[in-house]
Structure 1
Amino acid sequence: MGSRFDITIVAQDSATAELRINEAIAEITRIENLISEWRPDTQVSKINQNASIQPVKVDREVFNLTQRALIISEITNGAFDISFATMDKIWRFDSTMTKMPTPEEVKRSVAKVGYKNIVLDSMQSTIFLKLPGMKIGFGSIGKGYAADKARQLMEKRGVPAGIINASGDMATWGKQPNGTNWNIGITNPFDTNKYIAIVPLGRDAVTTSGNYEKFVVLNGKHYSHIINPVTGYPATGLTSVTVFGPSAEMANGFSTSLMVLGKKAGLKLINKHPDYSCILITDKGKVIKSKNLKFKLAKQVQ
């Protein structure tokens, strides 16, 4: 999935641990072979290849994942959108970008982005993209989904505890051998060698979206790699969003959406979903938490 996965489990011996970890790797690989948009023979690639031509029959797993993605799009008013994969890559978050794209370029970049042009047929288990050149991609929730599925498999195999870490999208379960919870550090985006909090987790998930690793500075202004799929411009106002909840897939969808929505709308959204909570860090270094977050944080991190 273009990302590093770290798998930590509790087992009675190294042979059992190796067997179970290999099973988790196989499950993650299976999911990549279903939803990768970069491999030409996956079901998602076939959907993209047939945009505006015909519906594509897919496994129920792919159909259901797409259906859940569209639900997130609905509740976020398009701040989350798997058809972002269509977006022309006019923003380059490296040293090669030296000037702002024109308003016309930005408008063209999002012309074919729009989750309402994704048509699902539940009876036939098909997915159809209405517009020619339209694409979908699961880069935003695919890692979280894979982490959830690997955790589910490990639990089914009787593994008592562990962490599936998909490049920061984590699914945890059980306790450490000494009986304590897993402790997860939440990075300070202004000093990545420090944490703003150490959070104890049981059977939980945590994901973070941030603008402090991939960005570009133009005319003295900081632009992050997280693009608003409606406007085509990078999200501004928040430096980092960390979401906690039962599912890494859903937490991932929320963390991306909250970066786009910003502080006020983001908090309003997350507070409607009591199973989830969040930590927001503004561009000014102010730390804000949702009303149902259960641990204390510093008020300022810069």
Structure 2
Amino acid sequence: MKPQIALFFSLFCLLSFGQSREDYVTVKRTLKLMGTRFEITVVAQTEEIGYINIDLAVSEITRIEKIISSWDKESETSLINAKAGIEPVKVSPELFQLIERAIMISKSTDGAFDITYASMDNIWKFDGSMDKMPTDAEIKNSVAKIGFQKIVLNAEEQTVYLPEAGMCIGFGAIGKGYAADRAKSLLISKGVPGGIINASGDLTTWGTKATGEKWLVGIANPLSKDKVFSWLPVVESSVATSGNYEKYIILNKKKYSHIIDPRTGFPTTGISSVSIFANQAELCDALATAVFIMGKDVGLHMINQMDGVEAVIVDGENKIHKSSGIMFESNQ
């Protein structure tokens, strides 16, 4: 669970799945997948069925990881990166379409979200060892190979080509959300009546708890995460959060987040967290990073133009800002 956005569940209404609610149980398992903490919760007729369904979700997430992981040398993504500047790589329709959607998000965010961020040189250190700013030349060079516009897609051949040697793509800002969406879709297709796929706080839900309760997310006071500003339903919906709670540096008395703008090479400043609400966890995941980089004003303006997408932003002074569809008062 991430700081600032705490998860809570509260009685909201009762629904029927055609079987007595007393006959359903809620089954949960926590494990490490895709290098992060996944918590999978399902509603089932019995614990045994629940754990079988959780195993199905785990298998689906593992399958996705084998496609998009840049750490797995045999993945399609690693092959694309290895062939950068050499030749196009034929990929599965699934990965091709994910890259297409990623490029669409890049265009809509003016490059604040960019899967070629993986091409960035690692000149910023957030382990306490950094005591001075990089030079302008170092920062400029660090992002020289970045640019979603450079990715060459051939829909007819289903190929992906990175035209510059050293270019890389990575799905760190969208992969968890995509995997959660796919696992959710699989479980729904198997008749699982409700559940949550929670990838380190980036989560997607469907149905209700075994008791009939709707899943709710509590927006916590940034000055006291145990105090809740308001409850927001995430029924058949998703939420993702980007934050700089722990990974940041202070140089010349200025706080810099570990989230770096791929367009400039500079770490972001002025925002503590961004939470995005939408139907798809994939979109939430990508937009949370993008809005963090775009900043409060530009980010909220963009979100307010998007149907079915909402945002809650905590700025560097712990003030709450929200998009037009979020219905709670942010008095502190």
TM-score bracket, shorter-length normalisation: over 0.9
Q: Percent identity?
A: 47
Q: Secondary structure at the match of 2:197?
A: strand
Corresponding residue to 1:24 among 57, 82, 85: 57
Answering whether residue 129 of structure 2 is matched by residue 96 of structure 1, we say: yes
Matches for 1:120-199 after TM superposition, within 5 Å: 120-199=153-232
Counterpart contact for 1:81–1:115, Cα < 8 Å: yes
Superposed CA deviations along residues 225-263 of structure 1, whole A, max 9, x for unmatched, are 111000000111211110101000011111111001111
Alignment match, 1:257: 290
* Greater relative contact order structure (CA < 8 Å, 6+ sep): 2
Question: Take 1:180 and 1:106, find their aligned partners in 2: how far apart are those partners?
Answer: 50
Answering whether residue 266 of structure 2 is matched by residue 233 of structure 1, we say: yes
Alignment match, 1:277: 310
Alignment match, 1:48: 81
The one-letter amino acid paired with 2:316 is: D
Corresponding residue to 1:266 among 277, 293, 299: 299
Superposed CA deviations along residues 192-217 of structure 1, whole A, max 9, x for unmatched, are 44444432221000001111121111
The one-letter amino acid paired with 2:128 is: S
Answering whether residue 240 of structure 2 is matched by residue 207 of structure 1, we say: yes
Q: Secondary structure at the match of 2:313?
A: strand
- Aligned-pair Cα RMSD in Å: 1.3
**Rg larger for:** 2
Q: Name stretches of at least 5 consecutive residues in structure 1 with no aligned partner.
A: none
Superposed CA deviations along residues 139-181 of structure 1, whole A, max 9, x for unmatched, are 0000000010011011011110000001111010001122221
The TM-score normalised by the length of structure 1 is 0.96
Moved over 6 A (4+): none
The one-letter amino acid paired with 1:254 is: L
Question: Take 2:224 and 2:140, find their aligned partners in 1: how far apart are those partners?
Answer: 35
Answering whether residue 101 of structure 2 is matched by residue 68 of structure 1, we say: yes
Q: Report deviation, 1:102.
A: 1.4
Counterpart contact for 1:182–1:200, Cα < 8 Å: yes
Counterpart contact for 2:81–2:162, Cα < 8 Å: yes
Counterpart contact for 2:321–2:330, Cα < 8 Å: no
The one-letter amino acid paired with 1:219 is: N
Q: Secondary structure at the match of 1:100?
A: coil
Question: Take 1:225 and 1:187, find their aligned partners in 2: how far apart are those partners?
Answer: 22
Counterpart contact for 1:119–1:129, Cα < 8 Å: yes
Question: Take 1:224 and 1:177, find their aligned partners in 2: how far apart are those partners?
Answer: 40
The TM-score normalised by the length of structure 2 is 0.87
Superposed CA deviations along residues 22-67 of structure 1, whole A, max 9, x for unmatched, are 0000000000000001111100000000001100000000000000
Alignment match, 1:296: 328
Q: 1:195 to 1:87 in 2, by over 3 A?
A: farther
Alignment match, 2:17: none
The one-letter amino acid paired with 1:251 is: C
Alignment match, 2:144: 111
